[in-house]
Structure 1
Amino acid sequence: MTKISNLDILQKEQILTKDIEPVEYPVLEINLNKVYENTRKVKELCDSEDISIAGIIKMTHSMKEIAETMIAAGCDYIGTSRLNQIKKLRKSGINKPLMLIRIPMISEAANVIRYADISLNSEKGTLFELNKEAINQGKIHKVILMMDLGDLREGVFDVNEIIGMALWVEKELSNLHLYGIGTNLGCYGAIVPTEVNIGKLCDTAEKIEAAIGRNLEIISGGATSSLTLLKDGKMPKKVNNLRIGEGILVARDLDEIWEYDIADLHKDAFILKAEVIEIKDKPSHPIGKVFIDAFCNTPTYEDKGIRRRALLGIGKQDLVNADTLNPFDKNIKIIGGSSDHLIIDVEDCDNEYKVGDIIEFYLSYQHILYLINEEDVNKVFV
């Protein structure tokens, strides 16, 4: 019998593990199964009112994996706000219609026609250039005219103006197809979607249909915040599309802000994991004259005496608003941070944290928006 030495075992382990990269923190962990299940649940809600879904993936920088998961779960369109993301999705082979949800720039017209199937619009000059490019490329491009219902971001504010614009697109712009009208509420002006303001969108759609002599394919009644009308059974019947991002990927706003019961949606499809790089007992108030921090703010501090503090290897450069992170361990308190560090209070925790431990956080929309674009944060699918 051949005797195997400890050296033989060690060398074998080294051969087996030499190509395995160690996990490098911080990590943004993405659970595609939970994204799928959330999409299915939102689709079931929308299907009950014959409403199609544009899965909005701008917060994930339009990851192909997210797009494919949403499509598999039933999204009718995939949408994002940046043309370079539309281009990336097109080249990756995504087979659903791609919707550019930010008003195009005139300078983008050629690539909007080249890569996007649908775009949201509110300016005649831009529509004219899109039509010219569509003629040049031999394509028919679908447009949704945006109506401003009071949120005061994008959209035509005057009803007669948008009817006239719709008639102009229909009759004069040969290579643009007037696909529908839409609106956005909540993202800038924080205006609540209601039967009244969404009803105005539907009334305007009917006037446009009378003017052009046919039905519009799409009446897009907003984004995640418009799901509140569905939950209340108050969505005007003419609405047949919603553009949903946060309500699928994060699923926190309806619960935590709007106070709707959405217990069947996962709120942890995206998780942040950060490593402890220092544990010390320190004063809770800085010593010396307080002036300004690295971001030109003058902070204030509450003196709670000596407290146990942990320093994590992630900072404002990675997620900007660290103060609103939500730790899994409810006894952890966020103290603050700098560009590359997050400081937490672990004094009251049952777990005795040590250097090298991993702290996990639930995330909100704004956190993912920044983390996804940070190269120093590793993205891991589970």
Structure 2
Amino acid sequence: MAELIIHSEKIKENIQYLSRYFKTHHIEWSLVTKIFSGDKTFIANILSEDVMECVNSVCDSKLSSLKYLKKVFPKLKTIYINPPAPVRVDEVIDCANISCNTSITTIKALNAAAEKKDVVHKIIIMIELGELREGIHLEDLASFYEAVSDLSHIEVVGVGSNLGCMFGVEPTEENLAQLALSKRFISETFHKELKFISGGTSITLPLLENGLVPKDINHFRVGEAAFLGICPLEGEQFKDLHKDTFELHANIIELIEKNISPGGNLTTTSKSQNSGRKNVERSQKSYKAILDFGLLDVDKNDLQAEDDFLFVGATSDMVVIDVGNNQTASGGVKYCVGDTIKFSLNYIAVARLLSSKFIHKIYV
């Protein structure tokens, strides 16, 4: 079974570093925990009490994750970052102190659910700034706010935006200024001071470092930088954060010299490729190694191998690589059955591997 190596202390240090960093910039931040899907072992190993003391709140897109986090940390402030489905409003009220919203219908349903439980539920109104994910149009903010601000068990505590997650729209000083203006608009029009202007994520960190984030932006939602140490805009390390927090170790379970090209008639459903080699004859051979993970676990495009070889193809539970003549520069044997191939991982790879029941997780 392939292994996901999790460097617990490095992740903890990243979270603590970010806490100090945001404090120096007078910004509140929430740890986005959706990468580990509420995994109880991950929470026990990473989210220790000393780490959670550094976090103002946590965000997640899975209600089951927030529910378990609330069970472990009853006083923890939680934010549900997906627009809720109306059918799930009772669960949202139970496990989230705050939710991010774009639908008046849903907010009214949240109000009814909160009234039944005799609580006031806080909401952040999400604004569309070009990413075409969740968010109302800025020109609709006045009518939207007016429709929900007087609900008896709802409190509008902020506005927010989401950039860079789907189409990769880059946050800029200009588009964040639009979000900051919405705070002033609400203040001047409705005489309401919003607590949160939630406009920052991992992708916004370089702007903050360069002093280009408008001062009204006072809340960041950060996951990738905390867990992988990078800013996703360029995939580069952010300041002194650790990048080497996760590794995939795959085992070679077969290593045999085989034809470079497959034999027989190929179906149109094939997901494999011809080793990246052009103009090869069917009789030409190279060594093929089979690794013990597959498409059910992770997409090979989200992996970066430690060594140089060619991906041949993948099935649900195996990946085949082409290691050429399987020789080192000095002429020795490079790989054997039982050897480990190491991969570094991007955010999506880590999220998928953590949720896979076919990958062994090892905390170091």
* TM-score w.r.t. length of structure 2: 0.89
Aligned 8 A contact 2:16 2:54 in 1: yes
Query: How many residue pairs were aligned?
Result: 351
Q: What are the superposed Cα offsets for residues 267-295 of structure 1, whole Å, 9 maximum, x if unpaired?
A: 22121122110011223222334333455
- Cα root mean square deviation, aligned: 2.3
Match of 2:143 in 1: 164
Equivalent position amino acid for 2:241 in 1: L
Match of 1:61 in 2: 37
Q: What are the superposed Cα offsets for residues 302-324 of structure 1, whole Å, 9 maximum, x if unpaired?
A: 246432221111101111x1134
Q: Which has the larger displacement, 118-127 or 29-38?
A: 29-38
Identify if the C-alpha distance between structure 1 residues 299 and 147 changes in structure 2 by more than 3 Å, giving closer, same or farther: farther
Q: Computing the radius of gyration over CA atoms, which structure comes out larger, 1 or 2?
A: 1
Aligned 8 A contact 1:40 1:73 in 2: no
Of 27, 34, 41, 2:10 maps to 34
SS in 2 for 1:87: helix
Alpha-carbon offset, residue 327 of structure 1: 1.9
Q: How far apart, CA to CA, are the structure 2 residues paired with 1:252 and 1:284?
A: 38
Aligned 8 A contact 2:16 2:51 in 1: no
Aligned 8 A contact 2:104 2:147 in 1: no
Q: How far apart, CA to CA, are the structure 1 residues paired with 2:117 and 2:186?
A: 28
Q: What are the superposed Cα offsets for residues 215-255 of structure 1, whole Å, 9 maximum, x if unpaired?
A: 2111101321111311322111111111111111123444x
Match of 2:96 in 1: 116
Q: How far apart, CA to CA, are the structure 1 residues paired with 2:205 and 2:121?
A: 28
Match of 1:243 in 2: 221
Identify if the C-alpha distance between structure 1 residues 379 and 342 changes in structure 2 by more than 3 Å, giving closer, same or farther: same
Alpha-carbon offset, residue 164 of structure 1: 2.8
Equivalent position amino acid for 1:373 in 2: S
Match of 1:185 in 2: 163
Is 1:268 matched with 2:247? no
Q: What are the superposed Cα offsets for residues 337-365 of structure 1, whole Å, 9 maximum, x if unpaired?
A: 11111122334664722112222211111
Q: How far apart, CA to CA, are the structure 2 residues paired with 1:129 and 1:299?
A: 54
Equivalent position amino acid for 2:26 in 1: D
Q: Which has the larger displacement, 341-350 or 365-374?
A: 341-350
Match of 2:112 in 1: 132
Q: How far apart, CA to CA, are the structure 2 residues paired with 1:280 and 1:70?
A: 50
Aligned 8 A contact 1:46 1:230 in 2: no
Unaligned runs of 5+ in 1: 1-24
Of 278, 281, 300, 1:322 maps to 300
- Identical pairs, percent: 28
Q: How far apart, CA to CA, are the structure 2 residues paired with 1:140 and 1:47?
A: 28
Alpha-carbon offset, residue 150 of structure 1: 1.1
Match of 1:7 in 2: none
SS in 2 for 1:326: strand
Is 1:311 matched with 2:284? no
Alpha-carbon offset, residue 261 of structure 1: 5.3
SS in 2 for 1:318: coil
SS in 2 for 1:233: coil
Q: Which has the larger displacement, 218-227 or 115-124?
A: 218-227
SS in 1 for 2:290: strand
Match of 1:334 in 2: 311
SS in 2 for 1:372: helix
Q: What are the superposed Cα offsets for residues 167-192 of structure 1, whole Å, 9 maximum, x if unpaired?
A: 4433x211111111100011123211
* TM-score w.r.t. length of structure 1: 0.85
SS in 1 for 2:200: coil
Alpha-carbon offset, residue 51 of structure 1: 1.4
